[in-house]
Chain A
Amino acid sequence: MAKVKCAWFDFASCEGCQVELTNLGSTFLALLEHVELVEFREVMSEKTTGKIDIAFIEGSLTRETDEKRLMEIRERSNIVVAYGSCSVTGGINALKNHLEEDEFKKLVYAKDKDMRHLDSRMAKPISSVIKVDYDIPGCPISRDEFLRIVYQLVHQSEKIYTPSYPVCVECKLRETICRYEANDHCMGMVSLAGCGAPCPADGIPCEACRGLVRDSNQKSLEKVLINKGNLSERWAKDKSRMFTANFREEK
């Protein structure tokens, strides 16, 4: 069987999801027996202008020029995978979306804010511009989930499965004590699972880095955060902006 041609591309992101690949150890070599890396700027100088079987795209879109580049990648890729939360939902970059453009620029670049090269708009997921075939969410991605999805893609599985239930399910499965029992707060009940719930197990709240489950109830979440998590009203309102601001109504 011919190797599957894979490429990695990045937009506004920390590139941590790409770095995660280098942490696979010998599994990485096993992966290379099935997959040919044709472009991966962070670790390769080789580039391609040809057809790509699977394009993994990290990062969110913040500039008009990003959109042209992304569409060009889409055109020559058979499958496009949004790789990591920045690409799937806008991720942490979207935390600035509730501020006016002028406001966040002024906060960072002060009097120089209007210099042309500092252009930046709302951070958007790549699905706002192109058709995305599959998502691998997470900040960072889960290496196990990545391997499973690549395995399924390489073997052309009929259905690529990713969970739609909340993180609470995974905490129960691994018998993690609920953060609310530890006098903390948590967003696990509205957060998309698939990560294996490492954060509550490590003693910190889930902050929905993978995004929210379908039909999550923001109003109820706020109520629980206030009544059970002892968060102030202001904090409870803002809590879900951490990684999921894109899902909020824009003011």
Chain B
Amino acid sequence: MSEKNVHIKVNHVTRVEGHGNIVVDINNGSIEKCEWQVPEAPRFFEAMVVGRHYSEVARITSRICGICSIGHTIASVKATEDALGIEVSKQTKLLRRITKLGETFDSHILHIYFLIAPDLLNVQSVFPLVETHKEVVTRALRLKKLGSQWAGLISGRSTHPTKIIPGGLSALPKESDLAQLKKSILESLPDVEETAKLLLDLVPNLPEFNRETEYVGLVDDYEYGFYDGKIGSILPNGDRDSIELNEYKSVANEWVSPLSTAKYTKHKMESYMVGALARININFEMLHPKAKEMAMKLNFTLPCYNPYFNSVAQFIECVHSAYTTVDYIDQLLESGIKQENLVLPTKFGKGVGAADVPRGILFHEYIYDKEGFCTMGNCIIPTNQNHANIQLDMEKLVPEMLKDDLTEKQMELKLEMLVRSYDPCISCSTHYLKVKFKK
């Protein structure tokens, strides 16, 4: 091994949502510091919801994240519905599922094209590609716009949705709008195929790095776990576990690290991973047949322990989202959209809701008093659950890079790419915690 000196300090990693730092100090070939730091300004959402009426809570917690605000709204509304004894209709669930798939597509396209692809094409951002690869940029913008319209059609808008409220939807889409969405998705399939070709070209540029870890995500008998289900986990030895939602705290064991304004979590191993790669490792069998075909085309095999492949898993989920949405729209058009009243509360108490949002499993929990005002809120964000896994990946990756005698610049890029591959949503992750409201 070299007597190398390496000093990496990336303040505010770019092309991620929120603020994170990478710090590595190597003196005379010995690693003295190797840290993933989260200095994001804490925003205290769990304190904000206390005292708010149940009809307002999801509109507050939606603001935790501008990219997965639909996921936050859905998890939040579901937790509130659980606390209020509300069972929504099958039609509501199907419409919300379509919205969830739209957000998954939307967020993954943003990540793949705007945040990941520049590293693999040796540019600093997607914008220089306007000169050199204009078709890539126009395709990215077309797909991103489709994702935003798809996620926003039923929910009102893709950033901070309006129509998803406790008890159902505040307004229903027209059948003609759903038919138009189906048409737009089908028309985008050539763009999806082109994206597959681009990925096939780029996958060989992804670093070879593997670290066995535990994967956690929703498991649902109805569909590939996005909207509903229990908490599923899979260990490297293949052992699976399925845990009830209200036991979520036994999965996300939290602890405060001085490195981070966000909290860390661990379950059966020292860390676990959530997000597309985790979901696909857990739920592969539930993917749409077309998505499984795409996985084969991309030579994606299971189990996959390379975090850099998260974006490949995301793309497979995009294909799943497109075809599944088309199926769901067909079902809805066949039965016709029925006007339904909002389901009203039958009780006021404590409830938990979860959704597997683009970056992984998300938990919301609330307690309401008998007048419907919130007395306690707790949100456990996917990126929080990944922080410890990122840290442990770095601790394995840095010695490997040192052994391979990489330059400081090469190391820095690989570490940044590692962080980006998780698609971290750091501004989200800084409001996570067991919260007890003491009167």
- Docked-complex contact B47 and A104, CB < 8 angstroms: yes
Residues of B near A238 (CB, < 8 A) are 51-52
Q: State the CA gap A55–B141 with chains docked (Å).
A: 23
Q: Which of B46, B65, B110, B437 contacts A22 (CB under 8 A)?
A: B110
Distance in Å: Cβ of B248 to nearest Cβ of chain A: 17
A238 to B427, CA, bound (A): 26
Docked-complex contact A198 and B162, CB < 8 angstroms: yes
A109 to B64, CA, bound (A): 17
B170 part of interface (Cβ distance < 8 Å): yes
The answer to whether the Cβ of A215 comes within 8 Å of any Cβ in the partner chain is: no
B47 touches A110 (CB 8 A): no
Q: With A95-B48, A104-B44 known to touch, is A26 a contact of B138 (CB < 8 Å)?
A: yes
Taken together as a complex, chains A and B put the C-alpha atoms of A28 and B139 apart, in Å, by 12
* A118 with B261: CB separation less than 8 A: yes
Cβ-defined partner of A45 (8 Å) among B118, B260, B436 = B118
Question: A76 in the interface, Cβ–Cβ < 8 Å?
Answer: no
On whether the beta carbons of B15 and A107 are closer than 8 Å, the reply is no
User: B288 an interface residue at 8 Å Cβ cutoff?
Assistant: no
Which chain A residues (1-19) contact chain B, with CB distance < 8 Å? 11-19
Chain B, Cβ-Cβ closest to A103: B47
* A156 neighbours in B (Cβ, 8 Å): none
Q: Is the pair B51, A107 in contact by a Cβ cutoff of 8 Å?
A: no
Q: What are the residues of chain B within 8 A of A22 when measuring CB–CB?
A: 110, 114, 141, 144
State the CA gap A22–B141 with chains docked (Å): 7
Whether A66 is near chain B, meaning CB under 8 Å from some CB there, is yes
Smallest CB separation, B75 vs chain A (Å): 15
Q: Is A44 an interface residue (CB 8 A)?
A: yes
Contact A202 B261, CB 8 Å, known A25-B145, A29-B138 = no
Cβ contact within 8 Å between A118 and B145: no
Interface centre among B18, B45, B48, B160 (most CB of A within 10 A): B48
Across the interface, B159 reaches (CB within 8 A) one of A16, A41, A47, namely: A16
Chain A residues numbered 53-67 whose CB sits less than 8 Å from any CB in chain B:
62-63, 66
| Residue B258 at the chain A interface, CB threshold 8 Å | yes
Residue from A23, A37, A41 within 8 A of B14 (CB atoms): A41
Answer whether A43 and B125 are a contact pair too, CB < 8 Å, given A15-B66, A25-B144, A204-B170.
yes
| Min distance, Cβ A209 to any Cβ of chain B, angstroms | 8
Instruction: Give Cα A14–Cα B73 distance, bound, in whole angstroms.
Output: 14
Q: How far is the CA of A203 from the CA of B171 in the complex (A)?
A: 6
A201, B414: Cα distance in complex, Å:
48
Q: How far is the CB of B164 from chain A (nearest CB, A)?
A: 10
Known A-B contacts A43-B115, A103-B47, A105-B44; the reply to A110 vs B14 at CB < 8 A is: no
CB < 8 Å: which of A28, A45, A110, A140 contacts B125?
A45
A117 contacts chain B at the CB level, 8 A cutoff: yes
Check if A115 is an interface residue, CB within 8 A of chain B: yes
On chain A, the residues within 8 Å of B156 by CB distance are 198, 202
Q: Is the CB of A232 within 8 A of B371?
A: yes
Q: Determine if B63 is an interface residue (Cβ-Cβ < 8 Å).
A: yes
Q: In whole angstroms, what is the CA distance A9 to B135 when docked?
A: 28
B47 & A23 in contact (Cβ 8 Å cutoff): no
Indicate if the CB atoms of B145 and A24 lie closer than 8 Å: yes
Q: Which of B53, B159, B433 contacts A20 (CB 8 A)?
A: B159
Whether A15 contacts B118 in the complex (CB less than 8 A), given A26-B141, A45-B124, comes out as no
Considering the chains assembled together, what is the distance between the CA atoms of A91 and B43 in angstroms?
Answer: 12
Given A45-B124, A238-B51: A204 in contact with B44 (beta carbons within 8 A): no
Q: How far is the CA of A47 from the CA of B12 in the complex (A)?
A: 12
Q: Can you name the residue of chain A whose Cβ is closest to the Cβ of B137?
A: A29
Q: Mark A116-143, 1 if CB is under 8 A from B, else 0.
A: 0110100100000000000000011000
Bound-state CA distance A22–B140 (Å) is 9
Whether the pair A15, B67 counts as a contact (CB closer than 8 A) is yes
Q: Which residues 276-290 of B have a CB within 8 angstroms of A?
A: none
Give the Cβ gap from A93 to chain B, nearest Cβ, in Å: 6
Residue pair A23, B170 in contact (C-beta under 8 Å): no
User: When chains A and B are docked, how far (Å) is the Cα of A47 from the Cα of B156?
Assistant: 35
B15, B39, B138, B148: the one contacting A117 at CB < 8 Å is B39
Give chain B interface residues in 132-170, CB to chain A under 8 Å: 137-138, 141-142, 144-145, 148, 156-160, 162-163, 165, 170
> Please, which residues of chain B bring their CB within 8 A of the CB of A160?
none
- Nearest residue in A to B56 (C-beta to C-beta)? A242
27 residue pairs from A and B, CB less than 8 Å apart = A12-B43, A14-B63, A15-B65, A15-B427, A16-B160, A19-B67, A20-B66, A23-B159, A32-B127, A32-B130, A41-B12, A43-B126, A44-B14, A44-B127, A62-B42, A95-B60, A99-B47, A107-B47, A108-B42, A108-B46, A110-B436, A117-B39, A118-B261, A120-B43, A202-B162, A204-B163, A238-B51
- Chain A residues engaging chain B, CB cutoff 8 angstroms: 11-20, 22-26, 28-29, 32, 37, 40-47, 62-63, 66, 91-93, 95-96, 99, 103-105, 107-110, 112, 115, 117-118, 120, 123, 139-140, 198-199, 202-204, 207, 232, 234-235, 238, 242
